[in-house]
A and B are shown apart, each in its own frame.
Chain A
Amino acid sequence: MRKILPIIFKMLKLKGEKKQYISMIIALAMIVAIATAGGLIYKNAILNNQIALEKNYGKYGTYIFGEDHNSNLEIKAILEELKLNHGVLVYDPSLSWDEYPDESQIFYVDEKTYEKVTGFKPSKGFIALAGRDLQEDYEGKTVVLVGLEDNNFTIQGIIDTLPQIGKYMLLLPQAKEDIHGGLPQFFLVELNNSIDQFNQLKRRLDESILNKYTMESSIAAYRLQRKDLDNLETILFAVVILICLFSTVLLYIGIKQLLMEQSQLWFTLQTIGLSQRDVLLVMVLKFIFSLLLGIVAGGLLGGYLGILACRLTDTDIISLTPDFRYLMVSGITVAILFLLLLRWFKKNLVKSEIIQLIHKEKGFTNRGKEKKTSKIMDFTIPILLGLMVISGFIIDEKRSYLFGLAILLLLIWVVRSPNQYIGLFLKSLKARKSKILRLLGMAIENHQDKTAFVISALFLSIVLFISSVTMVSTLKNSGHRMVDNIISYDYAVITTEEDFILEEAKDDFKLMGRQLVLDGVANGSLNIKFVVTDMEDFKNIYKEASHLEEIKGNQLIASNFLMAILDSPIEVKVEGIKEAFNTSLSIESIDHNAQCVYLIRSVDDFKEEYLDGDKYTYYYLYESLNEEDFPKGDDYEVISINQIKDQWSEITSQGILPFQYFVMTVLLLVSIVFILHVRNMLLRDADEFALFTVMGMKKVGVKKLILLETVTTFAIALTLAIIIAIPFTLVTIMLLSELSNIKLSISFDFKLIGLYILGYIILLSILGTLIGQKISSKNCVDIFKSREVL
């Protein structure tokens, strides 16, 4: 170590060495930054989503449950009588949803109602309430309202705010005492209500059974959305892993090339007495120094980017600590990069015969190197194709065309590797009569290893971009799927807060169609509560919905109207629906595993019972939107279906939007670093272009040739990338969809992809022009001279 450190410091004086350090620090900083920013955004996005979700479903005190179904019904009756609407809260923060005893025993009230009734804002505090057989146990008796120490104020609040009904009782069953542990405190409340009144309440319970199902579907929806969220987390995580892996490959080939440039230095060091072990140690120390600086720089940059992305997308910053798993990914990525570099370094610059190093001075143009560098292309593509084929077997047979395409590409690759195809292309260029094309063919052929690197790197970065952007875009738009399923046609939409206005509008414009009612409570996440539709409309919609497999046309005849309660995600269960049609006012019995509940009844009944103007927003969907036909009224507003979609999109993209910013930033950074590599590589070819000048090529010719070479290289990479990236992305998303059980409708963001490619073309053209300018402006003698010194 004593002799190594001075050498490292001496080497730092070399221009190439400084460049290497800077490149390695940037590369490592980027990996750390990706993980930090990703972890930060991810954590905050997911936390925000969780809070939004839990808030929507009133985790903070909007549920009540009893020991059994009957007691719940009783509780409900009492609470209704108490004008508590559906119930008062029971919430135990120590319980997760999955730990609730039975979803059928949970009743739901919104927070506003709770606050209205109790005078308290819902908080993390709780009271556990449950019912028993009140008639039997508490008639004419003093009953007990029980709460835990922390929450007695809430109970007291209820009692205080309900003076006129303060003599009712609520109590906590023993079971809940066990949950909370310790002895509860008691509040004594006199119950002197008559048994008749109680019985009267009980009778009403039978009529309000529907509420129970509403509550159940709400909980089912919560669980499903929760599951969606979990799956979303997994997919986002997978996207980051993908980005990290691709970036690592790009960075690896970049750094490797920089190391190769200094092969003469490694040669010199060994000739002056450094052992192979020492040389390796120099490299390891170099990596460690760069890593230390990279961690600091990347941590700061990543933190800044993460916070910026959250700020830009109005995502509340709840945690400043990145998700641990992302840091793990960063650690693993750095380790992989290190091992790859070490392995390559050992094999090529240490273990090889020393004298061979001297021949590597000119980078990749030495003997026998072609085969090694072409591995990038020869291996990446078949691996991607192989993954596609394997994925194909896992997914399903319906997408066989994709597997067919993958297998076809694989076969094409088996016949000849991409490098060979590129070679053929170059030969065809060289065979042209046009001199500039022949020169171009020669220039590219001479740089074939560098060209292979540029093409591979460009290829990888484009594949990475297309697949990541599509995945994020798919996730972002996955919230649309319900909307898209429901609104398959072009509809005009009238939005109004009041039902009667809607009715008036309907009359005014002779609207026929469906009414979509959004759950006014569930702001913050997509929750389409009801769709009222007539039978034809229903059939039209669901016949086309890909998820609907069990609907049979002849089952959908009996009713005039069909009302669907749709909760995310839609997966229709129609067992028993036939029976439901036999009555005009009936409730379909629900399979609790079902993700969608259908209630078959008349629209009027539905409205009477459910549509409370304060709580819902109505959208009337009208076919063939023509906004001029719907002049804006004072009381209602005509909006397009796209506006609704946008509105939903905004809601559902919560968490995804900052992630999209993140992906874009990372890819931009990777692209910039990559473009800098391309620049350095082209500049390294300066001696060749200087030679052309010596031979009499005009400066404008040199510029033209460099530009052409850049553009051709890009065109090859782009063509390859598009051929591979699109099926690769499709299959990857399908696989993720399959594994995560989320119905993802693949959404290629062609606009963004197009912009990215256009940006790349412009950047590379500018780069080619500038480099041409730079090389042609230099004196060729200076270029030759500069190549002769280390």
Chain B
Amino acid sequence: MLLKLEKVSKSFYNPDGTPFTVIDNLDLEIEEGSFNAITGVSGSGKSTLLYLMGALLFPDSGDIYLDGVKLNSLNDSKLSHIRNEEMGFIFQNYNLIDGLSVYDNIILPQLIGDSKKVDFPFELCQRLGLEGKINTKVGLLSGGEKQRVAIIRAMVNNPKIIFADEPTGNLDKKNTQEVIELLHLLTKEYKTSIVMVTHDLDSTQYCHKVYELKDGKAIIKGEKSYDTGNSK
């Protein structure tokens, strides 16, 4: 079990001070090398759950474990290390640094991390068709290209898990398909686990598990075998 959430709850507050619970006593497990999707209506707390898993937010109660390590008990330094080495993030609006080149954006996690040398993933770039744009500023790329850069950046430190927050939300159908296939590829070839938040059920075609978040709980909507990909 790579990631485990035990009785996790998270509440936010309305402007008038009244609390509303987004995640309620939720239990969830993410297997190693699995491709998972979290769906739900707007405001159901999909992104909140994703950020809780990625230790970008902390639960009000309950525990989150990554590889047996309790994330919500770690200090900033250790968490930063885990985020850098073992996690990758992909966002709907890419969160790339527009003023920097593709190369610079991709190597950023390596610069931030403890590794001494910078190892640029040329091969991955080639596979994703970005080899001719390595020195282009990302501000000049199309949406699909940007998301591919974001995916490579998320992969650059070979993380165990990638969290993708509506990665296809800004893309057209063709690009959506490409990105989903690419994420699928990552799980297949690199054995990287993926947790993807999406409201687009079509995007979940390659997912091993599809959860629906409703009233703060995650309900499994669909499941496939890792090896065969057959629906259960």
- Cβ 8 A contact of B51, one of A362, A697, A699, A781: A781
Residue B98 is within 8 A (CB to CB) of chain A in the complex: yes
Q: Inside 8 A of B82's CB, which chain A residues have their CB?
A: 696
Of B14-22, B106-114, B179-187, the stretch lying at the interface with chain A is B106-114
Whether the pair B85, A696 counts as a contact (CB closer than 8 A) is yes
| A777 CB, nearest partner CB in chain B, Å | 10
Cα(A442)–Cα(B112), bound, Å:
12
Of A443-451, A480-488, A542-550, the stretch lying at the interface with chain B is A443-451
Residue of A nearest to B50 (CB): A781
Residue A438 is within 8 A (CB to CB) of chain B in the complex: yes
Number of interface residues of A (CB under 8 A): 30
Whether the pair B139, A442 counts as a contact (CB closer than 8 A) is no
Number of interface residues of B (CB under 8 A): 29
Q: Inside 8 A of A780's CB, which chain B residues have their CB?
A: 56
Cα(A784)–Cα(B81), bound, Å:
21
In the complex where A695-B84, A781-B51 touch, is A442 in contact with B108 (Cβ < 8 A)? yes
Cα(A448)–Cα(B139), bound, Å:
13
Q: Inside 8 A of B84's CB, which chain A residues have their CB?
A: 695-697
Residues of A767-790 contacting chain B, CB below 8 A: 779-781, 784, 788
Cα(A445)–Cα(B112), bound, Å:
17
Residues of B64-110 contacting chain A, CB below 8 A: 76-77, 80-85, 87, 89, 91, 93, 95, 97-100, 104, 108-109
- Cβ 8 A contact of B104, one of A442, A699, A779: A442
Residue B1 is within 8 A (CB to CB) of chain A in the complex: no
Residue B220 is within 8 A (CB to CB) of chain A in the complex: no
Q: Inside 8 A of A559's CB, which chain B residues have their CB?
A: none
In the complex where A365-B98, A446-B98 touch, is A692 in contact with B112 (Cβ < 8 A)? yes
Q: Inside 8 A of A367's CB, which chain B residues have their CB?
A: 139-140
| B60 CB, nearest partner CB in chain A, Å | 14
Residue of A nearest to B83 (CB): A696
Whether the pair A365, B111 counts as a contact (CB closer than 8 A) is no
Q: Inside 8 A of B108's CB, which chain A residues have their CB?
A: 439, 442, 692, 695
Q: Inside 8 A of B100's CB, which chain A residues have their CB?
A: 442, 445-446
Q: Inside 8 A of A779's CB, which chain B residues have their CB?
A: 56-57
Total residue contacts A-B, CB cutoff 8 A:
77
Helix, strand, loop or mixed for chain A's interface?
A: helix
Residues of A408-454 contacting chain B, CB below 8 A: 430, 435, 438-439, 442, 445-448
Q: Inside 8 A of A696's CB, which chain B residues have their CB?
A: 80-85, 87, 109, 112-113
Whether the pair A439, B83 counts as a contact (CB closer than 8 A) is no
Cα(A694)–Cα(B140), bound, Å:
24
Q: Inside 8 A of A442's CB, which chain B residues have their CB?
A: 97, 100, 104, 108, 111
Q: Inside 8 A of A446's CB, which chain B residues have their CB?
A: 97-100
Binding site for B on A (CB under 8 A): 362, 365-367, 430, 435, 438-439, 442, 445-448, 687-688, 691-699, 701, 779-781, 784, 788
Given A442-B108, A694-B83, A695-B112, 11 more contacts at CB 8 Å?
Answer: A362-B98, A439-B111, A694-B54, A694-B89, A695-B83, A695-B109, A696-B83, A696-B85, A698-B77, A701-B112, A784-B95
Binding site for A on B (CB under 8 A): 51, 54, 56-57, 76-77, 80-85, 87, 89, 91, 93, 95, 97-100, 104, 108-109, 111-113, 139-140
Query: Shortest 4 CB-CB distances between A and B: which pairs?
Result: A696-B84, A446-B99, A696-B83, A698-B80
Q: List 28 interface pairs A-B (beta carbons < 8 Å), by A numbering.
A: A362-B98, A365-B98, A365-B139, A438-B111, A442-B97, A442-B100, A442-B104, A442-B108, A445-B99, A445-B100, A445-B104, A446-B100, A448-B99, A692-B108, A692-B112, A695-B84, A696-B81, A696-B84, A696-B85, A696-B109, A697-B84, A698-B77, A698-B80, A701-B112, A779-B56, A780-B56, A781-B51, A781-B57
